[in-house]
A = this chain, B = another copy of it.
């Protein structure tokens, strides 16, 4: 079945006599002399128009086709007289693999709401928007790998199931093979030594801690895998299951971390602007005007680095009335982040040196004993897109910090060992993949940038 992809047909330099195309019927319309069928095979946003004349041998079969049918067409790729398309297909033989009953096929030729499409997530990859999302996810994924490979980072696979709890968060999914109707008990508590892993297990919220172990042996590494949050958040920015990219560099400081994040974002945005022009145009026209310009701005800007303290000063000096009042020690809210990057600096900024009280235990303490070597990258349009830090590499300081935060260093003995044996400065960050796709495409709801979203109440398909 040597078929040609529609994306290749449409950019052909020459007519092709013997062309085989397969795909799904998007629309069909009839004029007096012709039937016009638009075929899409997922390889690009555009359809290929198939034109069947009244006397053609495939006229009867074409007449009986419906939206959603899958077809296999042998024919000739010829110049199209229609405006806006260079080529069209003149079929010799149309084979119908499977028709789609117009009474029951949900994806008829009309605009469907994103809410409705989420209910038929198994079919929505056949829509323009989800097709474009999937092609952009693909290119951004490969850009991520290519960026790190070019820089000599090793792709590592950190574990998904874990018996440790990264940030002391209670928002983890439990993983078990125990019979819940017949739980093994010991002294009134569940006996987890009887569970599959011999201990209470959960889905990871981050690969960072294990990533650190690997960086502290291999130099520069990155993860790109699924992570999980059992938060009951029904917002347009939260998923229970999402993919995360987490690079980690040995022998690196906060400054190296900022440079890497800037270079990384520029690289992937430039890549997607180059490789996904048609799809990006679609999002720019139909979803969020200005997003291409916004990405171009980031690609062409140098990022401004400001301390948290400076950022708070700018916010206090502003005349804006924020919903959340500004004071030193607070966590920046999206409204503050967006004001800083959109209104004040008018470009991407990296905020560094946050108060230790609002950041995780593993971030390196500054000499002021008050701030940590954290960094958040804020971009126009959404605010925070990357969060990272230099890691606390001093054994004693880390112990103190953990105790301050109510964590038991013994539970992290393996993490502590890295500080005991051959410790060194190291740094890394995390990028939520779906949030990045949301930012790139301008899609309003994060459930519409992943093929099968997992959210409270929904893990179907």
A residues sitting closer than 8 Å to B (CB atoms) are: 1, 3, 5, 7, 22-25, 41-43, 68-70, 72, 97-101, 104-105, 107, 122-123, 125-126, 130-131, 134-135, 137-138, 141-142, 145, 149, 152, 154-164, 173-178, 180-181, 183, 189-190, 196-199, 201, 203, 210, 213-214, 216-219, 225-226, 228, 230, 232, 240-241, 243, 250-253, 256, 393, 414-415, 417-425, 450-452, 454, 456-461
Contacts and interface: CB of A to CB of B under 8 A. Distances in A.
A138 B148 CA distance: 11
Contact of A196 (B122, B214, B456): B456
30 contacts: A22-B251, A41-B219, A41-B250, A70-B422, A97-B422, A97-B423, A98-B424, A122-B415, A123-B213, A125-B218, A126-B422, A130-B217, A134-B156, A137-B154, A142-B145, A158-B451, A159-B459, A160-B160, A160-B203, A161-B240, A164-B460, A164-B461, A175-B203, A176-B180, A178-B180, A197-B458, A198-B458, A210-B451, A214-B451, A226-B226
A461 B155 CA distance: 18
Given A177-B173, A180-B190, A457-B198, A241 B161 contact: yes
Nearest to A40: B217
Contacts of A137: 154-157
B70 A217 contact: no
Given A123-B421, A183-B180, A218-B125, A210 B452 contact: yes
Given A177-B230, A423-B98, A157 B451 contact: yes
A66 to B, nearest CB: 9
Given A5-B219, A421-B98, A173 B161 contact: yes
A132 to B, nearest CB: 11
B451 A97 contact: no
A417 B123 contact: yes
A457 B194 CA distance: 9
A243 B157 contact: yes
Residue from A160, A176, A216, A241 whose CB has the most chain B CB atoms within 10 Å: A160
Nearest to A198: B457
A176 B177 contact: no
A141 B221 CA distance: 13
Given A145-B142, A181-B190, A459 B199 contact: yes
A460 to B, nearest CB: 6
Contacts of A450: 157
A295 to B, nearest CB: 21
A175 B174 CA distance: 6
Given A98-B424, A101-B420, A161-B228, 14 more contacts: A5-B152, A22-B251, A23-B219, A25-B422, A97-B251, A134-B218, A135-B154, A135-B218, A141-B155, A157-B226, A164-B461, A196-B457, A199-B459, A201-B459
Contacts of A107: 421
Contact of A422 (B98, B122, B421): B98
Contacts of A41: 219, 250
A218 B133 CA distance: 11
